[in-house]
Amino acid sequence: MSTTEEIVDTLSFFDSWEDRYKYMIDLGKALPEMEQTLKTDDRLVPGCQSQVWIEPKVENGVFEFQVDSDAHIVRGLLAIVMAAYNHKTAQQIIDFDIADYFAKLDLVKHLSPTRGNGLQAMVEKIRQLAQAQL
């Protein structure tokens, strides 16, 4: 799994957004597969145009997420979010400046409004899960 720094560096390397989208799709393809049995309504993230499932597991205070989506670009967005939040404690998740990360990626303005809302819904869901652990 890529780190936030690696993703920022790699995305800044590409000149065109078409190439950046291809890279994001590749990031999504690299995500581990989510078990089909976990793709249930209670794991769906509300507010996403595509179907997005998030399954948290906490071991020794550290979150490990299984995630998936039915859309390639959204899986890529999930990979970008997972770089920030996976394998972190609840406090690290709450403390991480996701707005700054997205600004460095120059991402949100290049997403449709519905995709941007979905991205924010994913972040909000993870932050709620972290907040519940504190």
- By percentage, how much of the chain surpasses pLDDT 90? 88
What pLDDT, on a 0 to 100 scale, did the predictor assign at position 49?
Answer: 86
What single letter denotes the amino acid at residue 1?
M
The arithmetic mean of pLDDT across residues 10-20, rounded, is: 93
Catalytic-role residue among 45, 48, 79, 119: 48
What pLDDT, on a 0 to 100 scale, did the predictor assign at position 83?
Answer: 97
Q: Give the pTM.
A: 0.95
What pLDDT, on a 0 to 100 scale, did the predictor assign at position 32?
Answer: 93
pLDDT above 90 for 107: no
48 classed as catalytic: yes
Kindly state the helix (H) or strand (E) to which residue 31 belongs, with its residue range: none
Maximal C-alpha separation, the chain: 42
The arithmetic mean of pLDDT across residues 48-71, rounded, is: 96
pLDDT band at 39 (very low <50, low <70, confident <90, very high): very high
What single letter denotes the amino acid at residue 23?
Y
pLDDT above 80 for 113: yes
Instruction: Give 41's contacts (C-beta < 8 A, 6+ positions apart).
Output: none
φ/ψ (deg, to 5) at 18: -60, -45
pLDDT band at 75 (very low <50, low <70, confident <90, very high): very high
* CA separation for the pair 14, 63 (Å, rounded): 31
Q: Which fold has domain 4-133?
A: Sufe protein. Chain: A (3.90.1010)
